[in-house]
């Protein structure tokens, strides 16, 4: 092969390599754009199945590792966890404990920037809709350890407020009347009648 032929082959090889690198770079750019436009952590409610709260309370094992959602009542939140749950990674610096009925299945949420804004603003007795995955608590509370015992919990992905708590009655609230003092009324009526008799009696009689 002469020098001209070697140069032509070299140019052909370099052109092929450049084309391959260009395609690879194009693929990387497309993947980056797709990831930016459609991030993996976008909440998609269609992936969750609605369940009845009473059925969930009775048979939580049937929903283990399943994505569900349900409507219930919000009662408040805690940031302290029982000792046996702390051993499983549920720590006050990382998690919220939301008290949402049924109370036998606690709702745990990560202390993300979003949750740090939402949770403190939730009102007690609000109607909420929670989305998450039912998970098993593997550790068991040992003798001497304090706190309630749970077998399952909801790993919260999303929460929505359906309605605010009902307004408390103020001045329109029913106040039962005090029982009438009939004996006192009788004495008052008798005194009035006596005064009338004295006033109508002629002088000198």
What are the phi and psi torsion angles at 73 (to 5°)? -115, 130
- Most confident of the ranges 7-16, 63-72, 145-154, 164-173: 63-72
Each residue of 89-102: b (16+ CB within 10 Å) or e? ebeeeebbbbebbe
pLDDT band at 37 (very low <50, low <70, confident <90, very high): very low
Nearest to 77 by CA among 110, 114, 117, 122: 122
- Among the ranges 6-10, 63-67, 174-178, which has the highest mean pLDDT value? 63-67
Per-residue confidence band for 38, with pLDDT thresholds at 50, 70 and 90: very low
Query: Model confidence at 33, in pLDDT bands (50, 70, 90)?
Result: very low
Confidence of residue 176 (pLDDT cuts 50, 70, 90): low
> In this predicted structure, what is the pLDDT of residue 26?
44
Classify residue 60 as exposed, middle or buried by CB count within 10 Å of its CB (0-12, 13-18, 19+). buried
SS3 label, residue 141: coil
pLDDT level of residue 41 (50, 70, 90 thresholds): low
Q: How many CA atoms lie within 13 A of 178 on its CB side?
A: 3
In percent, the amount of the chain with pLDDT more than 70 equals 58
pLDDT in tens, 132-153: 999 998 876 667 667 678 889 9
Looking at residue 171, its pLDDT comes to 45
At 113, the pLDDT band (50, 70, 90 cuts) reads very high
Q: Which CATH class is domain 46-163?
A: mainly beta
Q: Domain map of the chain by residue range?
A: 1-42, 46-163
Lookup result for tokens 């015992």:
149
pLDDT of residue 83: 81
Q: What is the mean pLDDT of residues 157-184?
A: 70
Q: H helices within the chain, ranges in order? A: 3-37, 53-58, 83-86, 113-118, 182-199
């Amino acid at each position: 092969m002469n020098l001209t032929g070697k140069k032509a082959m070299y140019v052909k090889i370099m052109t092929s390599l450049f084309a391959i690198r260009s395609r690879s770079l194009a693929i990387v750019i497309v993947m980056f754009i797709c990831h930016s436009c459609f991030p993996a952590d976008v909440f998609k409610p269609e992936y969750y199945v609605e369940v009845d709260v009473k059925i969930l309370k009775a048979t939580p094992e049937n929903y283990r590792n399943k994505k569900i959602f349900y409507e219930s009542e919000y009662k408040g939140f805690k940031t302290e966890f029982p000792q046996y749950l702390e051993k499983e990674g549920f720590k006050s610096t990382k998690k919220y404990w939301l008290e949402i009925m049924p109370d036998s299945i606690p709702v745990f949420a990560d202390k993300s920037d979003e949750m740090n804004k939402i949770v403190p603003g939730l009102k007690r007795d609000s109607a909420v809709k929670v989305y998450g995955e039912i998970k098993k608590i593997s550790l068991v509370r040992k003798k001497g350890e304090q706190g309630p015992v749970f077998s399952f919990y909801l790993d919260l992905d999303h929460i929505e407020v359906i309605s605010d708590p009902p307004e408390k009655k103020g001045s329109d609230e029913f106040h039962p009347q005090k029982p009438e003092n009939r004996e006192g009324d009788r004495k008052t009526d008798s005194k009035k009648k006596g005064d009338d008799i004295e006033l109508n009696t002629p002088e000198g009689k």
